[in-house]
């Protein structure tokens, strides 16, 4: 089983709609999680950290569910510019960052 | 100013050649990394250096040799290139060592194509 798993998508979202997707992780002791955004043929960029209490940054909300071992990302009022691949990152039992393969989001006009 | 810069952006070469990719960060970070992103889009760590000291060395063939002349630079040299080395290689840096609340800043990537 991979350390971090994501639904690859694509999630096709009409502009203005809300989209949410999850990422499951296997290391129950992991304390730190992140969401990165990667545009096609570009480098990943940190979108937000995920705290135990959740995290909200504008239209983006990240939640952590320890009982079920997943983190989620919700995007409200989707913009065309939100189209990207969203990478979930957790920390494995050796303390190393593990990236998921990403969830592709396509926002359509 | 680009925070993490790597060169070249594209690298096309024949099997068996030796090539290098250079990386520099001007963020003052202590830790630098090399990641490989293959066709399935998984980002996998290859190496990590903290203040010029190797701290992570994944199960990477020894044809890959990182070199850190100072904490702002981490270069990657690849000997005897193979078809399976074709991928995008990302350099990254962070203030903290892995295992903490580090946030990674990536370079724009080097697309390596081995023919």
pLDDT in tens, B28-64: 999 999 999 988 788 999 999 988 888 878 878 999 9
Instruction: Pull the structure tokens for residue B20.
Output: 């290098």
Cα A40–Cα B40–Cα B56 angle in degrees, nearest 5: 95
| Residues of chain A above pLDDT 90, percent | 75
Q: Residue written as tokens 């962070």?
A: B94
- Three-state DSSP class for A82? helix
- Closest Cβ–Cβ partner in B41, B99, B109 for A91: B99
Sheet of B4-7: strand order equals B4-7, B19-25, B73-78, B64-70
Contact, A89 vs A36, CB < 8 A? yes
Closest alpha carbon within chain A to B5: A43
pLDDT of residue B1: 63
d(CA A6, CA A15): 23
Q: Give B38→chain A minimum CA distance, Å.
A: 10
Q: Do B109 and A42 touch (CB under 8 A)?
A: yes
Closest chain B residue to A5, measured at CA: B42
pLDDT of residue A60: 97
């Amino acid at each position: 089983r991979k350390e971090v798993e994501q639904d690859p998508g694509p999630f096709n979202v009409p502009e203005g709609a809300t989209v949410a997707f999850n990422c499951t992780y296997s290391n129950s002791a992991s304390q730190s999680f992140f969401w990165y955004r990667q545009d096609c043929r570009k480098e990943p960029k940190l979108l937000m950290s995920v705290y135990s209490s959740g995290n909200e940054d504008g239209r983006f909300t990240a939640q952590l569910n320890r009982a079920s071992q997943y983190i989620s990302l919700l995007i409200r009022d989707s913009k065309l510019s939100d189209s990207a691949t969203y990478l979930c990152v957790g920390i494995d039992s050796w303390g190393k960052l593990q990236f998921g393969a990403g969830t592709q989001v396509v926002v359509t006009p | 100013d680009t925070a993490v810069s790597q060169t070249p952006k594209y690298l096309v070469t024949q099997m068996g050649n030796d090539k290098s990719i250079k990386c520099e960060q001007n963020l003052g970070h202590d830790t630098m990394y090399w990641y490989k992103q293959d066709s399935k889009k998984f980002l996998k760590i290859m190496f990590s250096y903290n203040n010029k000291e190797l701290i992570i060395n994944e199960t990477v063939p020894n044809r890959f040799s990182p070199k850190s002349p100072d904490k702002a630079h981490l270069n990657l040299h690849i000997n005897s290139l193979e078809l399976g080395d074709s991928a995008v290689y990302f350099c990254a840096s962070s203030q903290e060592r892995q295992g903490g609340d580090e946030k990674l800043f990536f370079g724009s990537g080097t697309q390596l194509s081995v023919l």
